[in-house]
């Protein structure tokens, strides 16, 4: 209950209005009465989310909540910028090479609809990093078929193209 830090609300605008209302209470008073929680002094609240124009399924943030935040747009990564980051983090060279060849597969516009619960994977950069991690966890003897299947599990149908790329 002491010290300082950041209370991070990731993917904030994926929360429906009832959860956003609880967050508003936390932002306004640093307390949540529902569970008798009080944020320690020295903490700041930071939220992150996607924009509706990115085609991501998000809930609209109401005007009262909108006024309680400072908003910053983080630009979409560029191919060169992401490649440099990926190389420095040990992302699998096959994944880096594939996305340099098919950058449009880094972001899949086929997101599910707002409020739709789905287990269908879709391509995004964190999912491609997960593809890399899954393949690396299998060891060096992994077949291109298995690499492709892991990719499909993580990024959806664009994983088939990755499978052909690595064959």
How far apart CA 120 and CA 157 sit, in angstroms, is 10
More confident of the two residues 150 and 66 = 150
Closest alpha carbon to 63 in 24, 34, 25: 24
- Looking at residue 55, its pLDDT comes to 65
Smallest CA-to-CA distance from 150 within 161, 129, 135 is with 135
Q: Could you write out the DSSP letters of every residue in 35-53? A: GTEEPPTTEEEEE----GG
What pLDDT score was predicted for residue 139? 87
Give the predicted TM-score (pTM) of the model: 0.70
**Residue 66: how many CA atoms within 13 Å on its side-chain side?**
6
Per-residue pLDDT band for 117 (boundaries 50, 70, 90) equals very low
Average pLDDT over residues 70-86: 91
> What is the band of 111 on the pLDDT scale with cuts at 50, 70, 90?
low
Residues 25-55: tens digit of each pLDDT = 888 888 877 788 888 888 888 888 887 776 6
């Amino acid at each position: 209950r002491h010290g300082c830090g950041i209370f991070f609300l990731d993917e904030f605008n994926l929360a429906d209005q009832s959860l956003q209302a609880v967050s508003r209470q936390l932002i306004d008073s640093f307390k949540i009465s529902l569970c008798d929680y009080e944020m320690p002094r020295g903490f700041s609240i930071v939220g992150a989310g996607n924009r509706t124009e990115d085609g991501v399924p998000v809930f609209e943030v109401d005007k009262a909540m909108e006024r309680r935040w400072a908003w910053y747009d983080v630009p979409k990564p560029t191919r060169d910028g992401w490649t440099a980051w990926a190389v420095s983090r040990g992302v699998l060279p096959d994944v880096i090479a594939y996305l340099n060849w098919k950058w449009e597969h880094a972001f899949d516009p086929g997101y599910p609809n707002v409020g739709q619960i789905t287990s269908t994977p879709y391509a995004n950069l964190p999912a491609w990093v997960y593809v890399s991690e899954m393949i690396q966890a299998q060891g060096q003897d992994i077949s291109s078929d298995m690499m492709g299947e892991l990719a499909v599990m993580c990024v959806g149908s664009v994983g088939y193209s990755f499978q052909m790329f690595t064959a």
